[in-house]
Every structure is written in structure tokens, then in C-alpha cells.
Amino acid sequence: MILVMACAAVAICEAPVSSTVMLSNGVQIDVVSNLGAPTGQQTISMEMTRASGNSFYRVFRDQNNLAVFAYELVVELVSSGDQLRVLARPCENQFAARFPGADGGKPVPTLSSEQQAGVLASGQSASIPLFELQGVGLKVIDTVRMRLDQKSGAASGRIQFAGLKISINGKALGGPAPSAVSGRYAMIYIPGRGGFFFAIEQPPPDLPFIQAGTIDHNHLKFTIDNENYEGVATAPIVSNPDTADLWIFHDPSYQPDGNWTQNLRPGLPSGSVGSGFFTAASDSLDWWLKH
């Protein structure tokens, strides 16, 4: 799982509608849809579904379940780990393939161009004007508010990957990873090698975690299947203390859902087309695994 949503689909009425979302980097955001002054002639519902590791689709449907508007909201931590970058993208080919016939065979209306909503600190918000339905009083604006748990970052018992670079047997994989992630558990997905899931406290007994690595300040090392992995981050990976033994569960067949793996090719810079790996973090392994 990539998103944990407190509200996945809601009927829109006159009052603003709020959805709370926990992201794969451990950050919580509130997204509020303000509707303007609806006359009640049009019934609209809103649904949210994940698109990739750091984005999700917001789809607005009418009473016939046809999409009247959709866009992709992208949210990611900046490298410092205490601010959130927000932007809104048009829904294009990937969305159409994911939701065929969403508007009865017609292209779903979306944003005309990408909108940069800004960089938010905890408690700050940014508004994104979306669409109007003339004659029924609907003028929809989404407002995104960031909430960063004080335990986020490299606090005691948590793992943070900020600007992480990875090498395998001394050969750089590509990177650094484009954003900071923080949680009780962390993971790295590498195409061709699957998923590596990390904990620094005793992991759940129903998954085959092994104690196979160490963390020292911003540096981690581990060995899996006779290959030596090394990571260097731009900020402490753990703190209080800043060293820890590393528990690892490796699933070589793991592939994440959504668009995370699109265009991933080993050896190219992370964050670009064809990036070689990505990182994520969460307070629950259920984010990625069913166990």
C-alpha cells in the first residue's frame, strides 16, 4: 500500500470536504475541497487513489459516475525532511490507461498545465484552483495542508533516508534519491533486485528479517546474498543514538503497485526518467506488505 486514506470517496455538499492522507514518507496531509456556492442541481463525489510513490489522483464524478474533472497531486519532502513540496499535474495517458471510459469515452477534463503550489512547512497550506461548472454554482479549489509529526525525521526508533546514495559491491547505483522519507520502517526498491525492508528495532516475527547490517550516523552497510550494499545520506539516518544494528527483509520478487516502477532502469540518476531505485518509509509494514 502506498497511501492510507481516512476518506477515499465522499459525497460533495455545500460544506468543504476534507480528506486526510498518510504518505509513504511518513508525512500527513489534509486536502480540503472548497466548492464555491453550489445550487444543489449537480451531485458531485470525490475519490482519491494512489498514482505513484509520492502522488495520487483526485477524481470528481457526477451523479452518473462520470468523471467531470481529475488531476494528479504530487507531494514530497524536500531534502531537509521538514518541508513539503506540492504540485498539481494534468492527468494524461497514465490516467486514461488506469481509468478507461471514466468520462464515457471522452477525455476527462483536467488541468491545462502543471501548477507549482509551493513548499510548505508543518501547519502551512497552499490552494490549487481546479474547475468551475457554470450554472450550478460549483467553483472547486483544493487546499493542501501539511502536518509533520514531531517524531518524524531521524528521531529515536525511526529511520530517515535523506538524499540517499546507494552502491552495490562498490559500484554506484545512481542517485541520490530525490526526497527525504522517515518512518519506523524504511524500504529501498531496486529493479532486478526487488525490495529491501529495514527496521532498527525488533521486527515482526512473521516475516524473515535478519540482522545483517549497521547504521553509523549517515552511513549504512549491509550484506545480502553475498552482495555488499552501502548507503550514504545527507542527514543522520538514525539518532538517539546515531548508531544502530539493521534488521533487513529482502524480497527479490517484490514489485510495488502504482507507477513507482515506470521507466526505472538501473544505473541512472534517481528522480530522472529511468531512475535506478527509490526509497519510502512508513510506520507500518502493511504499507507495502500483506503478512
Containing 98, the helix (H) or strand (E) segment is helix 93-98
pLDDT score, position 104: 86
In which residue are the cell numbers 494524461 written?
A: 92
Each residue of 253-264: b (16+ CB within 10 Å) or e? ebebebbbeeeb
Is residue 245 predicted with pLDDT exceeding 60?
Answer: yes
To 5 degrees, how large is the angle CA 199–CA 232–CA 118?
90
Three-state SS letters, 164-209: CEEEECCEEEECCCCCCEEECEEEEEECCCEEEEEECCCCCCCCCC
pLDDT score, position 52: 74
The x, y and z cell numbers of residue 24, run together, are 509513504
pLDDT score, position 111: 95
Is residue 79 predicted with pLDDT exceeding 80?
Answer: no
pLDDT score, position 206: 84
Is residue 240 predicted with pLDDT exceeding 90?
Answer: no
Is residue 8 predicted with pLDDT exceeding 50?
Answer: no
Reading phi first (left if > 0) and then psi (alpha if -120 to 50, else beta), residue 165 is in beta
Tens digits of residue pLDDT in 199-233: 998 788 888 999 999 999 999 999 999 899 999 99
pLDDT score, position 223: 93
Exposure of 101 in the CB half-sphere (CA atoms within 13 A): 2
Tell me which of 15 and 95 has the higher pLDDT: 95
pLDDT score, position 130: 93
CA dihedral of 142, 31, 290, 285, whole degrees rounded to 10: 130
Tens digits of residue pLDDT in 91-102: 988 898 889 988
Whether residue 93 contacts residue 87, with contact meaning beta carbons closer than 8 Å, is answered with no
Tell me which of 2 and 135 has the higher pLDDT: 135
CA 112 to chain centre: 23
Q: Using DSSP bridges, classify how beta strands 243-251 and 227-232 pair: parallel, antiparallel or unpaired.
A: unpaired
Mean pLDDT of the region 109-137: 88
Say how far apart CA 269 and CA 206 lie, in whole Å. 35
pLDDT score, position 201: 83
Task: Give percent of the chain above pLDDT 70.
Answer: 77
Tens digits of residue pLDDT in 132-167: 887 777 888 999 988 765 444 445 578 888 888 999
Is residue 12 predicted with pLDDT exceeding 60?
Answer: no
pLDDT score, position 156: 56
Tell me which of 272 and 282 has the higher pLDDT: 282
pLDDT score, position 26: 56
**Quick one: which of 13, 261, 22 has its CA closest to 137?**
13
